[in-house]
């Protein structure tokens, strides 16, 4: 049995995300802890925190996962954006710690044409600074939150489309015990990693292991792709309706390095299929 869930809304109050996850039949779920499209946010109230933690404990859903907001760009050469991005990352680690959320997924951003090497150095510095700032402010936190670096689709100027780039970031992080990886199937496929047969998936995961280490793999974003192999197109599709297809997901969902991990679907919701439908298809392919 695989642990599958979706990204759910926190509208109304953050604890309502747990209610929504339960209603959808999730084993795990993902949220934004605040507005993902703005820099400003409200602090969590003690009542909100208590309700969220209590509902998680009673629901049996685990793990809850947080995704960092969209605006931060830790690879940015622009000092104002970079500074705000580091602050946002540190604040998200703090919010996850308060909410007892063990995983925080972050995009790695864009170097905006200044080059991958410079972008990698900016990200390494951002992660070190954010973790360091939080540890200094709250030394009692005990490393309860792991930052998960998400692989990208290899779009123009993005960082993290190659496994080797993620490996280089982790190598440069001082507290590397607090850093893992979120593997997005759509992004990997669009970046040129073949996943659709047992042999090619084995080869891809062997490359992951060599560049990063399979012990770093903590979470999967299970998404089909609207673009073909190596298309560099970051467009998610319903499970089995894109270029990875049902046969590809059957292979993915039976791979030993993937099957045991929590999986978050970030698939569309439209007249073709909703979240419940995608969860059902994922479970069917995992069991078949």
**Among this protein's residues, is 210 annotated catalytic?**
no
**Among this protein's residues, is 100 annotated catalytic?**
no
The domain 4-287 is classified under which CATH number: 3.30.920.30, 3.60.40.10, 3.20.20.150, 3.40.1710.10?
Answer: 3.20.20.150
- 8 A C-beta contact, residue 100 and residue 144: yes
**Among this protein's residues, is 238 annotated catalytic?**
no
Please identify which of the residues 7, 20, 34, 107 carries the catalytic annotation: 107
Tell me the CA end-to-end span of the chain in Å, nearest whole number: 11
Please identify which of the residues 20, 34, 196, 236 carries the catalytic annotation: 236
The 10s digit of each residue's pLDDT in 58-100 is 999 999 999 999 999 999 999 999 999 999 999 999 999 999 9
Please identify which of the residues 150, 224, 237, 275 carries the catalytic annotation: 150
3-state SS string over 132-192? HHHHHHCHHHCCCCEEEEECCCCCCCECCCCHHHHHHHHHHCCCHHHEEEEEEHHHHHHCC
**Among this protein's residues, is 135 annotated catalytic?**
no
**Among this protein's residues, is 7 annotated catalytic?**
no
Residues, the chain: 288
Task: Write down the residue that tokens 């990693």 correspond to.
Answer: 193
The 10s digit of each residue's pLDDT in 8-53 is 999 999 999 999 999 999 999 999 999 999 999 999 999 999 999 9
Burial of 272-285, coded b for 16+ CB within 10 Å and e otherwise, reads ebbbeebbebbbeb
The 10s digit of each residue's pLDDT in 140-190 is 666 689 999 999 999 999 999 999 999 999 999 999 999 999 999 999 999
For the chain, the domains span 4-287
Report percent pLDDT > 70 for the chain: 98
């Amino acid at each position: 049995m695989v642990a599958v869930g979706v990204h759910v809304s926190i509208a109304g109050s953050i604890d309502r995300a747990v209610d929504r996850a339960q209603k959808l039949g999730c084993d795990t779920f993902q949220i934004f802890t605040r507005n993902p499209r703005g820099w400003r946010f409200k602090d969590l109230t003690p009542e909100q925190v208590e309700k969220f933690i209590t509902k998680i404990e009673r629901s049996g859903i685990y793990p809850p996962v947080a995704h960092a907001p969209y605006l931060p760009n830790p690879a940015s050469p622009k000092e104002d954006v970079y500074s705000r991005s580091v602050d946002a990352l540190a604040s998200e680690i703090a919010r996850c710690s308060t909410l007892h959320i063990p995983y925080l997924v972050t995009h790695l951003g864009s170097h905006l044409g200044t080059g991958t090497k410079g972008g990698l150095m900016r990200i390494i510095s951002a992660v070190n600074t954010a973790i360091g700032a939080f540890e200094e402010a709250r030394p009692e936190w005990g490393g309860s939150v792991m930052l998960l670096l998400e692989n990208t689709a290899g779009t123009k100027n993005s960082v993290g489309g190659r496994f080797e780039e993620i490996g280089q970031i982790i190598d440069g992080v001082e507290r590397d015990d607090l850093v893992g990886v979120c593997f997005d199937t759509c992004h990997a496929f669009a970046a040129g990693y073949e996943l659709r047969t047992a042999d090619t998936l084995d080869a891809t995961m062997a490359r992951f292991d060599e560049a990063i280490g399979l012990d770093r793999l903590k979470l999967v974003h299970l998404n089909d792709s609207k673009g073909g192999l190596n298309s560099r197109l970051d467009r998610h599709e319903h499970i089995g309706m894109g270029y990875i297809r049902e046969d590809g997901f059957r292979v993915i969902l039976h791979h030993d390095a993937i099957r045991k991990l929590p999986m978050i679907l970030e698939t569309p919701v439209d007249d073709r299929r909703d979240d419940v439908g995608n969860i059902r298809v994922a479970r069917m392919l995992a069991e078949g």
